[in-house]
Amino acid sequence: MKESIKKYTFTNNFHDTQVTVIPKRGYLYERQIKRMQKELCGVAGCSCSGDTGIRGPQDWDVEITEDGNGYVFHTRYGLPVG
């Protein structure tokens, strides 16, 4: 049986924007983070959010942290997802 691809949609409630990403083996890579930031905020000099562009309540209880190889995508329990 083929495993379904897990997609995650994140939002920025200041700009009323959203973006969908697919973690690859538990990682969001630099280009994915840049795309998230650009699509969620993308306003030069805006301080509405951090590196990811995420702001406000989200549908997913996850944390995105950088570990030197990329951005690790974790559940609130510390388990990699994707």
58 contact partners, CB below 8 Å, separation of at least 6: 10, 11
Q: What is the pLDDT of residues 6-27, one digit of tens each?
A: 888 999 999 999 999 988 877 8
Q: What is the pLDDT of residues 68-79, one digit of tens each?
A: 777 776 665 444
Q: Report residue 30 as tokens.
A: 């630099």
Q: What is the pLDDT of residues 32-76, one digit of tens each?
A: 889 999 999 989 999 999 888 999 988 877 777 777 777 776 665
pTM summary value: 0.77
